[in-house]
Structures are given as structure tokens and as C-alpha cells.
Amino acid sequence: MITKEKINQAGYCFIGKSNNLSKNDADNILKGFRLIHQHPMTLFRHTIDRKLKKHNINALVSQRLKRIPSIVKKLEIQENMQLSRMQDIGGLRIVVDTIQEANLIRDEIKKVEKHRNFKFTFANEKNYIETPADSGYRSIHMVYKYDKGIELRKQCRVEIQIRTRLQHAWATAVEVTGTFSNQLLKQSLGNKKYLNIFKKISRLFIS
């Protein structure tokens, strides 16, 4: 049986902090834990689609399971993080035209929390549109924990990102530049020149 403790041990194994599991066992646990995020993520996607349709908002909505190399890299960077508590293994991104639409969708999601049949518990929120990150990053992040179904699935968290198309273009440019220059610019690590350029660009827009 895969337990919360074994999930965390698998994470530690990947970054060399534990030898309680074989590499093969750790690999299987990580793959399994990643895959069980699919159902909660898809379930939340349905909620978002309904809200967008209700308000006739033309949005680009995407969902993804975090790639295993990205999961391991995050564990390496954030040494105290437990794999079972990683918030963005399942992720949904909503890209809209305006800040007003971003705030509207955020408010609609908050309203759903009060519904009796809502299968998630609110975990946390960071509004980088109201208060941009030092890097210049702007987006609303909302994290929900799935609390229905099998016990293991109750460890699953889904992160919802809401941003405008302009904010999305900025974030994509940072990620692509980081990939081609082999730097972790997305995590604000790497060439200071690049980081400062993107920070200055971010200050040029407010939407």
C-alpha cells in the first residue's frame, strides 16, 4: 500500500536524502502519485469550464501533469519540501483578456467552495497580479486539496493559475529563454542580466 510516508520517501530518494526505498520502487511510487492527480484535475476543469461559459468569457484553458524531471528539480531546489505536499503536480491555467476577467473567474471559483457537492478544500492563494513577484511575474495562484475518494487521492492538490494574455506572453518568454540558455530563469535563478531585463519589461505593463 502506498502511504503518505512512502510518497515522501520516494521524493527523498530521488534527491539522495534517503535510501529506504530502491530506485525502482521510488520511481514507481512517484509515477503512481503523479497519475492519480489526473482525476481531481479534470474534475476541477469541468467547474472552470462551466464558469467561463456562464460569463461568456473567451479563455484559453489548459491542464497538465507536472513532468517528472520538473518534480525532481523542484524537490532539489526546495530541500524541505515533501513530495506529498507539492501543490502543482496537477495544474490548470486560465488565460483571459483582461484583469477584470481574471478577478471575475477567481471570485467565481471562491463561490464554489460553499457548495455542498464541491469535492475540494481551499488550501491557499497568492495574488501576484495585485502584488507582483520580485521577478515581475504576475498571475493569480489558487491551490485546492481533493478530499474525496480513495485515501491516497486525498493527498492530491490542484493549482489553478489565472492570468491575462499579456502576462502569459511574459511568463512564456521567461520560460523559453531559460530553456534555450539552460538556466532556471523561471525560478529566478541564472543570469542577472536576463532576470533584470524581464523585470523591467514587466514594469511596462499592468494588464
Determine the Cα–Cα distance for residues 122 and 134; give it in Å rounded to an integer: 25
Phi and psi angles of residue 53, each rounded to the nearest 5 degrees, phi first: -65, -40
* In the chain, where the domains are located: 4-203
- The single-letter code of the amino acid at 30 is L
Helices (H), 15-60: 23-35, 38-54
- What burial class does residue 36 get, using C-beta atoms within 10 Å of its C-beta: 0-12 exposed, 13-18 middle, 19+ buried? buried
- pLDDT by 10s per residue, the chain, length 207: 788 899 999 999 999 887 788 999 999 999 999 999 999 999 999 999 999 999 999 999 999 999 999 999 999 999 889 999 999 999 999 999 999 999 999 999 999 988 888 899 999 999 999 999 988 999 999 999 998 766 667 779 999 999 999 999 999 988 888 887 877 778 777 778 888 888 888 888 754
What superfamily does domain 4-203 belong to in CATH?
A: Beta Polymerase, domain 2 (3.30.460.10)
Read off the pTM: 0.89
